[in-house]
Amino acid sequence: MRRATVVAVLRNPGLARLATGFAVFSMAEHATWIAILVHAYGRGGATEAGLLALAMLVPAAIVAPLAATAADRFPRRRIVLAAYVIQAIAMGAAGLSIVGHAAVPITYAAAILAATSVVLTRPAQGALLPQLAITPDELTAANVLFGSIEGLAILVGPAVAGVILAVADAGAVFLLFAVLLGGSAVLMVGLPDRPDRQAVAPAAIAPAAIASDLPVPPAGLEPSIAMLAGFRTLAEQPGPRLVVVVVASAWVLWGAIDIFSVMLAVDLLGLGDGGAGFLIAAIGAGGLLGSIGGFALVGRRRLTVPLLVGLALWGLPLAAVGILPNAILAFVFVAIGGATRAILDAAGRTLLQRVSTDDVLASILGVLEGLQMAALAAGSVGAPVLVAALGQRGALVAAGLFLPAVALLAWRRLSAIDTGVVAPDEWMAALRAVPMFAGLAPAVVEQLAGGASAWTAAPGTVLIREGEPGDRLHLIRAGEVEVTIGGRRVRTQGPGDFFGEIALLRDVPRTATVTALTAVDLLSIARDPFLLAITGHRPSRRLAESVAERRLSGGSRPG
């Protein structure tokens, strides 16, 4: 099953093109980061390089959560396309300024713009993945695949930069990837939709509406308020907030490793200046292997264990190096850390996509991106402080134990959140068989199923009564019901049919009475999750409205 799911991801044209563009993006991100720091180091040593790194990370941390809201208000394909165009232009400008020996403020301003533009891609892409994937397992596989791509990019991107820097300057690195990112932008033009949506939507829905992935914001939502949607959601919802904090915490260690790798290579292991690069490459190699092993997550419904075990094992190898500073063991330990980091990242992002509503998913991912940049900066700044306070080996041990402590603190609460989004497969299958739900992203269907309630009604039970307030939609899994209006029988319904949607969609009292003719097995969805799922996806909303309109005009209206 896992193999079939992975093959399905690769055969999904939207996911395949998105993955190709992301591969170029990831290599560009890592290659240009190294190139500009090498350029700054050559000008002013470690101080100038460190200050430039901070100057690039701070704007990125601020911009990420704000810019990401665009992907919750406009089609996410267009946002990914725009991100690649902006990155290509910014990197091209930085490359030309270096090659042309422009004034330092101009060069660094272009570099900061390029680094800041990088944060536009992941939130929009992470929010787009659930819309392109067809099943929850395919979504997990897609996240693991993108993790594999990033692990490979950590190896290939810096290597490409190293080769170019050996024969040219940093400007050539920027110019090369500016051109390649232009190619990524071309790939995003006309990005195909999920292949099953065309079959789901009725002929009455215009093709443009079917293909649109534009989330539908609540009526009256002002752009200024939407800019804070991610922050507001995280403040109100402990589930997504906890996942974001746990995943972002891993980047504190990533920032510290940039500093510790030099200290390890030069002082503790005696590997020389080049040893730092080899240690980072070992992390990348481990990350690549870990992301490949991460395909074991496909088909796994609960993700707490791989997420938190991965978090702990990303930190513990660093502590082990502090205890046993041996060169061979160090490479083994950091490779293990890189492998588990890839697994925790894939598990964390998949879980976040499951527990977050689609209308603010990009905004939440933008907050995560911003927190990761801030955590990266905090780790870079905090590492020297630890060394000064605890010594080199003590700093390694303390930093390595940070993430296991986070994992222990988050374990119980995260397990409860994870359990809450897991629903029986048959519930999900029943929902996907309903046309107005079939076009929804897998994560949205999974949320609906996770929040649904199953119950059985005896023959003669009045399931909903005409004139009463409506609070739920009901799906018939087995049995038969009778629909009456004003005491007049208008129809019967059976397995696969649903009732109760009119009162929810129109905000009116129940328009009919529905009574069980036989023992009936029902799956019920509360008003708010139903409306959020339906109104957040235009084809599903229009299909639900057309069903309600048809039932109202035909007189056979079940609630």
- Which residue type sits at 36? I
**Residue 128: strand, helix, or coil:** helix
Inter-residue contact 366 to 66 (CB < 8 Å):
yes
pLDDT at 198: 33
Examine the fold and report which residue of 373, 388, 422 is the final residue of a domain before the chain moves on. 422
Domain shared by 101 and 161, yes or no = yes
Strand runs (DSSP E) across 14-70, as ranges? none
- The answer to the question of residue 146 being in a domain is no
- In order along the chain (559 residues), what is the average pLDDT of each group of 10 residues? 62 84 91 83 72 84 79 81 93 93 91 88 82 73 79 79 84 94 91 45 30 40 53 80 89 80 72 64 77 66 82 88 85 83 81 73 82 84 84 89 92 76 66 74 68 84 89 89 88 88 83 91 82 63 65 57
pLDDT at 44 (0 to 100): 78
Residue 487 sits in the same domain as residue 501: yes
Please give the angle made by the CA atoms of 115, 250 and 385, to the nearest 5 degrees: 85
Distance CA 556, CA 559 (A): 9
**Shared-domain flag, residues 344 and 395:** yes
- List the structure tokens of 295: 């395909």
Residues 6+ away with beta carbon under 8 Å from 447: 354, 355, 357, 421, 529, 533
CATH code for the domain of 510 = 2.60.120.10
Q: Helix, strand, or coil here: 80?
A: helix
Mapped onto helix, strand or coil, the DSSP state of residue 325 is coil
Same domain? For 267 and 180 the reply is no
pTM: 0.63
Whether 278 contacts 271, CB under 8 Å: yes
207 and 266 within one domain: no
Mention every residue, 6+ apart, whose C-beta is less than 8 A from residue 99.
169, 171, 172, 175
Half-sphere exposure of 231 (CA within 13 A, CB side): 12
Tell me whether residue 147 is in a domain. no
Across the beta sheet with 462-464, the strand order is 462-464, 513-516, 481-485, 488-493
The predicted pLDDT at position 209 comes to 32
Same domain, 412 and 294: yes
Same domain, 292 and 179: no
Element at 445 (helix H, strand E): helix 442-451
Asked whether residue 411 falls in the same domain as residue 546, the answer is: no
Question: Which pLDDT belongs to residue 217?
Answer: 42
Beta-bridged to residue 473, according to DSSP, are: 525
* Residue 148 domain-assigned (yes or no): no
Contact 559, 501 (CB under 8 A): yes
CA 153 – CA 288 distance, rounded (Å): 9
Q: Which of 255, 271, 254 is nearest to 263 (CA)?
A: 271
Q: Is there a domain that residue 145 lies in?
A: no
Same domain, 363 and 439: no
Residue pair 37/277 in contact by the 8 Å Cβ criterion: no
Give the contacts of 105 (CB within 8 A, at least 6 positions apart).
none
Are residues 148 and 291 in contact, defined by beta-carbon separation less than 8 angstroms? yes
Exposed e or buried b per residue across 326-356, where buried means at least 16 C-beta atoms within 10 angstroms of its C-beta:
ebeebbbbbbbbbbbbbbbbbbbbbbbbbbb
Residue 515 lies inside a defined structural domain of this protein: yes
CB 539 within 8 A of CB 200: yes
Q: Using CA atoms, how far apart are residues 492 and 558, in angstroms rounded to an integer?
A: 9
124-138 burial code (b ≥16 CB/10 A, e <16): bbbbbbbbbbbbbbb
Q: Is 161 helix (H, G, I), strand (E, B) or coil?
A: helix
Q: CA 132, 128, 342, 60: dihedral to nearest 10 degrees?
A: 160
Q: Under DSSP, is residue 516 helix (H, G, I), strand (E, B) or coil?
A: strand
Residue 225 inside a domain? The answer is no
What distance separates the 2 farthest-apart alpha carbons in the chain? 89
Q: Are 22 and 169 in the same domain?
A: yes
Nearest C-alpha neighbor of 88 from the set 41, 120, 60, 65: 120
Alpha helices in 294-424 (DSSP H): 304-323, 327-355, 361-420
Number of domains in the chain: 3
Q: Is residue 150 part of a domain?
A: no
pLDDT of residue 275: 65
Q: Which residues contact 361 (CB under 8 A, 6 or more apart)?
A: 72, 126, 127, 130, 353
For residue 51, the tally of other CB atoms under 10 A from its CB is 13
The count of other CB atoms within 10 Å of the CB of residue 323 is 12
| Domain end (from 369, 389, 422) | 422
pLDDT at residue 223, as a whole number: 44
Cα gap 74→523, rounded to integer Å: 33
Q: Is residue 127 part of a domain?
A: yes
Q: Six-digit token pair at 279?
A: 């240690």
The Cα–Cα gap between 360 and 421 comes to: 17
Task: List, in sequence order, every beta strand (DSSP E) within 335-457.
Answer: 453-457
Q: Which of 164, 187, 215 is the last residue of a domain?
A: 215
- Report which of 157, 178, 176, 179 is spatially closest to residue 168, judged by C-alpha positions: 176
The span from the first CA to the last CA of the chain, in angstroms, equals: 40
Residues 411 and 449 in one domain: no
Domain extent, residue 97, equals 1-137+156-215
Say which CATH number the domain at 99 has: 1.20.1250.20
Locate 120 and state its tokens: 């536009």
| Pair (184, 275) in one structural domain | no
- Alpha carbon of residue 427 to chain centroid: 24
